[in-house]
Amino acid sequence: MAAAMLLSAIYGYEPSYPYDNRIETVETAFDGMCEAAMPANFYVNTVPWLVHVPAWAPGAAWRRRANEIRAWRDRAINEPFEWTKSQMAANIASPSMLKNLLTNMATGAVPKHGIEEEEDMLRWVTGTIYATASDTVVSTIKTFILAMVLHPEVQKKAQDEIDRVLGGRLPELSDRHSLPYLTAIMKEVFRWRTSVPIGVPRRTLKEDVYKGYRIPKGSIVIMNTWAISHDPDIYPQPDKFKPERYLDPTLPKAPIFGLGRRDCPGANFAEATFFIMASTLLTVYSINPTPGKPYPEAKATNGALASHPLPFHSTLTPRSESRKRLMEQWIDN
């Protein structure tokens, strides 16, 4: 569902249900990029001269694996981009982020870097937003469902707020500011079990000194998002799921989308997608443990860039026949 929404919003592409090869391509590429982004998975990340080892050399299986990942990455970036361009050329493109960006580029002033470079930037920006958001949004929704199973009192309070504000209709993005408790739940889900516990590695372009620490030029710097999000001085009882903490407007959000000039370009899009999915789930369904199955634990995978809750059982039951029909109509449309 998340991948389908993203493909539609970014590229104007409506994927086939229940299987679509473009979704599989991006999932395979992103899994590979997460694997490659962890310094411990590839020695070349910490021993740069290994980049000169040929792929056929003994012990260079990592090089062949890197080539596979690169090929999948290029497919994931290029195929949907070229598809949207072909749809625009045929004048049949559906509304999308990429269509708007390409149209603005074509009708505006010539970019200072030139059309070709500007188009290449759009290719990578949209591809990066889709590739990263598709997996992290799925992880976040899994964590949200897990939290609702483990904390039925939180779920009930959020549903009461939704019912009071929406009056039985499905949510819209404009409802977000009218649902402060649900917004607090979203922020707490992001903080409690962040989908990216370790930030994307960065390399310093020049030497720097930060709070007395000398950081040499060329150093690999990795933000420990998990540690920041679980700092007890900022978030008391950090391992507890407590949405109420975010009803305090002075409490900072966890830096799950990174920091600085190179923070995640899809942050607003990811938050909007999460809001629509979470609010729709709570409007239509009750989320409960599955009878006869082990009770879920708040544990997650590790060893990769993106973290997911360990597999768990849950049951989504329509809250009423009228709400079930609302969802069926939304799917049909």
Domain ranges of the chain: 2-332
Tokens encoding 159: 């549903």
d(CA 255, CA 263): 9
The answer to whether 96 and 8 are in contact (CB under 8 A) is yes
Q: Which residues of 228-243 are buried (b: 16+ CB within 10 A; e: fewer)?
A: bbbeeeebeebeebbb
Element (H, E) at 221: strand 220-221
pLDDT value at position 248? 95
Bridge partners, 203 (sequence order): 220
Helices 97-107 & 115-150 angle (0-180, nearest 10)? 160
The answer to whether 281 and 145 are in contact (CB under 8 A) is yes
- pLDDT over 90 at 61, yes or no: no
d(CA 148, CA 106): 46
Provide the pLDDT confidence category of residue 138 given band limits of 50, 70 and 90: confident
pTM exceeds cut of 0.85: no
pLDDT value at position 163? 97
Query: Which class in CATH covers the domain with range 2-332?
Result: mainly alpha
d(CA 269, CA 280): 17
Q: Which residues of 109-124 are buried (b: 16+ CB within 10 A; e: fewer)?
A: eeeeeeeeebbeebbe
Provide the pLDDT confidence category of residue 62 given band limits of 50, 70 and 90: confident
d(CA 151, CA 146): 9
pLDDT value at position 289? 96
Three-state DSSP at 20 gives: coil
Mean pLDDT calculated for residue range 315-326:
94
- pLDDT over 60 at 303, yes or no: no
Own/partner pairs for 42-50, CB < 8 Å, 24+ apart? Answer: 42/66, 45/201, 45/220, 46/220
pLDDT value at position 35? 75
